[in-house]
Amino acid sequence: MMAGCSQNFSSRQISGLAQENQGYLAQRALAVTPFMVMEVLEAAQRLEAAGRSIIHMEVGEPDFRTPPVVVEAMNRALEQGAFKYTHSQGDPVLRQALSRHYAERYSVEVSADRFLICPGTSPGLMLLFGALLEPGDAVVMSNPYYSCYPNLVSFFGGRPLPVPVEESEGFRFRPSELKKHLGPEVKAILINSPANPTGAILEPARLKEIAALDKLIISDEIYHGLSYGPERDHTILEYTNRAVVVGGFSKSFAMTGWRVGFMILPPELVRPLRSMAQNFIISVNAAVQLAAAVALQQAWPEVEQMRLIFDRRRKLLIKGLRDLGLGIMVEPQGAFYVLARADHINPDSRSLVFEILEKAGVGLTPGAEFGSGAEGFLRFSYATSEENIIEALERLRRFISQR
């Protein structure tokens, strides 16, 4: 899935915010804390405004342009008058294209009426957790996790339940260990493959074991299309129908700013989520939906070219970081992130990130942003050019040697 949300405000700071706002803000709003990646980005932009050269490896956003065929489809849709509300569940053209896509790519039959189109995957997760969670319900997730997950769960009264995953296993769930955490309060298991921030991929055997557990599976598949090993992407729907899939176009199609995603829902969730969408979203931009349908039908050659470039960058960055002495025990196999151990430089990843930004001019994300299991690590995004990666590695080499 996207850049992370910080969980780092102290109770005293939250209390102070409540006093400043004279009590009119709900506690759940005060508990939603800023994006740490944006804190780094904004600090980097201040340095750039002062004339500094900054290499951005903090933001999880493809640096490629959206494929031209998609842009042309958007313009054509606008010229033909795609200005109105669509069906609240999504334009049938896009839902049917998604249904065909899942049949062709995954050999999974999903009817078009099980898709719900959303303005990005995060609003989709908000609808989903709003529908599923009662106060105290727990949602299991890996630790490290995509850092917005706890905020999304907590906002609706749920309890994030992070389960440690081991660096030696590539930060992937061990189903036997996962099973120990599945008490009656657990409403769902949230998985992310390929994963942010680790680049981990859950292989078929592991997905099958997780699917066999007696819980609803929520599978964040936003990085599908960006895998680099011999194994193709696998959706959780290949192994169970008791699952919700969250997906979108932002990462693999370089469409972050278009704001279009989707969920695949079990039949019993379709009507409640559709009613919520009618009230809270109404519909997603009509022309964007038609362009997304064309992306599914015609843009895969461009996606493959982007994937190959990402893979070259991945290999370049992994080698360079290892040469600098940063720890990468298991190479990431998907998305566009490397989570590298740097606690021998400074065990406090937050202070280290800002020191690197100030002294080396490289923007990174601290591992602590992604849970206690990632403290001591730094997240590097290789959604930037090879030239930038080479220059960033040289700046880091100088920083480490001088430090």
pLDDT of residue 20: 59
Is residue 84 a contact partner of residue 286, using CB atoms and an 8 Å limit?
yes
Peptide bond into 276 cis (omega under 30): no
Q: Which tokens is 76 given? A: 């054509």
Q: How many CB atoms lie within 10 A of CB 128?
A: 24
The percentage of the chain sitting over the pLDDT mark of 90, rounded to a whole number, equals 85
pLDDT of residue 25: 82
Mean pLDDT lowest among 17-21, 166-170, 298-302, 382-386 = 17-21
pLDDT of residue 19: 53
Residue 7's pLDDT band (boundaries 50, 70, 90)?
Answer: very low
- CA separation, residue 238 to residues 60, 67, 69, 108 (Å): 28, 29, 30, 6
For residue range 140-199, what is the model confidence (pLDDT) as tens digits? 999 999 999 999 999 999 999 999 999 999 999 999 889 999 999 999 999 999 999 999
Using the predicted structure, report yes or no on whether residue 304 has a pLDDT greater than 80. yes
Using the predicted structure, report yes or no on whether residue 29 has a pLDDT greater than 90. no
For residue range 131-140, what is the model confidence (pLDDT) as tens digits? 999 999 999 9
Tell me the mean pLDDT in the region 380-387: 97
Task: Report the chain's mean pLDDT, rounded to a whole number.
Answer: 92
Is residue 90 a contact partner of residue 262, using CB atoms and an 8 Å limit?
yes
Whole-model pTM: value is: 0.89
pLDDT of residue 22: 56
Q: Whose CA is closest to 362, among 50, 130, 47?
A: 47
Q: Cα separation of 156 and 137, whole Å?
A: 10
- CA separation, residue 251 to residues 37, 61, 257 (Å): 17, 7, 10
Residue 24's pLDDT band (boundaries 50, 70, 90)?
Answer: confident
Using the predicted structure, report yes or no on whether residue 348 has a pLDDT greater than 70. yes
pLDDT of residue 34: 78
pLDDT of residue 31: 81
For residue range 62-118, what is the model confidence (pLDDT) as tens digits? 999 999 999 999 999 999 999 999 999 999 999 999 999 999 999 999 999 999 999
Contacts of 349 (CB under 8 A, 6+ apart): 342, 343, 366, 367, 368, 369, 374, 375, 376, 377, 378
Using the predicted structure, report yes or no on whether residue 28 has a pLDDT greater than 90. no
For residue range 198-230, what is the model confidence (pLDDT) as tens digits? 999 999 999 999 999 989 999 999 999 999 987
Q: Positive or negative CA dihedral for 101, 106, 110, 113?
A: negative
Q: What are the chain's domains?
A: 11-65+302-402 (3.90.1150.10), 69-299 (3.40.640.10)
